[in-house]
Structure 1
Amino acid sequence: MHVVVLGAGALGGYFGSRWEEAGADVTYLVRDKRAKQLEDQGLKVTSTQGNYVTRNPRVVTDVHDIENPELVFVSVKGYHLAGTLETLKVLADKGAFILPVLNGIEHINVLQDYLGEESVIGGLSFIVATLNDDGHVEHSSDFHKLIFGPLNSKQSEICQEFWDLSSKAKVETTYSDSILQELWKKYLFINAFSGITTAANLPIGPVRDNKDTLKVAEMVLNEMQQLANSYNIEITNEDVAEAKSNLQNFGYDATSSMHQDRRKGQTLELDHLHGGALRLAKAKGLNMPFTEAVHGIIKPFEGA
């Protein structure tokens, strides 16, 4: 299988390396600066699940140079999505299916509207990984999970082929026939976790120490459940209870990527995540006061 990884950040670099390790033909579509780094340094993965080195990764800076793409792995931040649409259109027109693993949910409709419903597969990931100063991937957690599944009946064949590849790779892979539900389950959790840690400017441990602060996160979970259900996505009380349990089980100093970005003074995915939820709620006539409050508190820190 020819997999195109759009960008080669920590997420794309990790999964791309694992697929190559399993025998896939992997191309990294990157910007000039990252291309030079990869050409000079190669791509090394240091991982709790085993290390891997790609000494001469296939790197491309012009999408038109890519031939016979089959699947495109998209792991950009939500605020970069608009800038990738024309590139993804070129690849989709060449026959590739698009697998985004962005947080949130609005991007699915954006991509389907631009590329066609048949082209967009549903996906999400759970992994803690970063790039070091040399541009290599450092995977520090025990989990490296990828969940994907068809959003259209015409995607059965490509999903099966991708499952065959990923099941051979050092990746915890789940093929889901209810991928929209999985996307929403992550969405409700990430809005609570990233929202409360970023708004409070604290890791999850100190948040848990204050019951009033933790309650805000729990109320965001409840609001997100109502929002999902209003779109005919069944998120159960058990799903919410599991999300609350996950908030309790993180290490004391664990925090969200959005909070890390706030600490670094970088652009936040606020509009893509919480802003998106508020837009979806407005379309259904729902009020989400806790989500709205979290959104308002974080808003001054949104721009880099």
Structure 2
Amino acid sequence: MANFNLTSSKPSALILMGIPGLEAAHIWIAIPFCACYTIGLLGNVMVLFIVGKEQSLHKPMYLLICFLALTDISMSTSVIPKTLCILWFNLKDITVGGCLTQMFFLHMVIVMQSAVLVTMAFDRYIAISNPLRYTTILSNARVVNLGLVCLIRAVLLVLPLPLLLSRLPFCANRIIPHTYCEHIAVAKVSCGDTTVNRMYGLVSAFAVTGLDLTLIALSYGLIIRAVLRISSKTAHQKALNTCTAHLCVILVSYTSCLFSFLTQRFGQSIPSQAHITFANIYVLVPPIFNPIIYGVKTKELRAKVGKYICRR
């Protein structure tokens, strides 16, 4: 292994190793990473462009889809550019401040995305149970306010993570066996007592995930009850179809998130290469699939996308 991999040219810097054990394949691994990042970025930018351009799409549901697209873009962009620099150009140094900043934005966006998915579940419940009052209950202004609440919650919950780490000393061996500054990976480099950091990270992660999944389950329980009250089978099908895209997004987002989090905490028997690769897939796959899911499942958005593609 090259000496650069073991020592930093900057004494105060941390060293992100990429995927330990797969250094020889870093250049080739970066190619699908770059392709996935580009596809996800283009797909979400297209959603934002079309919704912003089309006046008929200026509705609460599409504003929430835009919020989801923004979180997808932010999540992958906070990680992948630096990852590509590591894999392609061997630029492994990152300042402590830069590492903590990356950690903050990544975890903040993850919490924000979870809150947006909860809001989307509430949106679907209102659309099915009170279709005539939908725009009154969920106006565009109210959706924007809900988005701000989601953002404030995410900032307040995640801000203690980098603040708690910033007060701790870092060891002489500042090597982080990861492609980005994940909270636990950075905490392991510290020479101080990280008990508070680990406990806060664990409790906040389970609290956020548990609360949000409970609210989503409650919303869908109410949705099922509202659907069962509808006598027409056609109306049943139409009502359930409006939830399909959201359920697919929840499955993609939460499954990959929980697997990555649990293997980082408790998966000591899982090879580090597998965990780190999956941790990168987690920030790449949802941004690719989310715009595709909504583009395919949402008739009005699908029609607008088709119109722009045909026009080009």
TM-score w.r.t. structure 2 length?
0.28
Q: Which has the higher helix share?
A: 2
Q: Which has the higher strand share?
A: 1
Larger RCO (CA under 8 A, 6+ residues apart): 2
Rg (Cα) greater in structure = 2
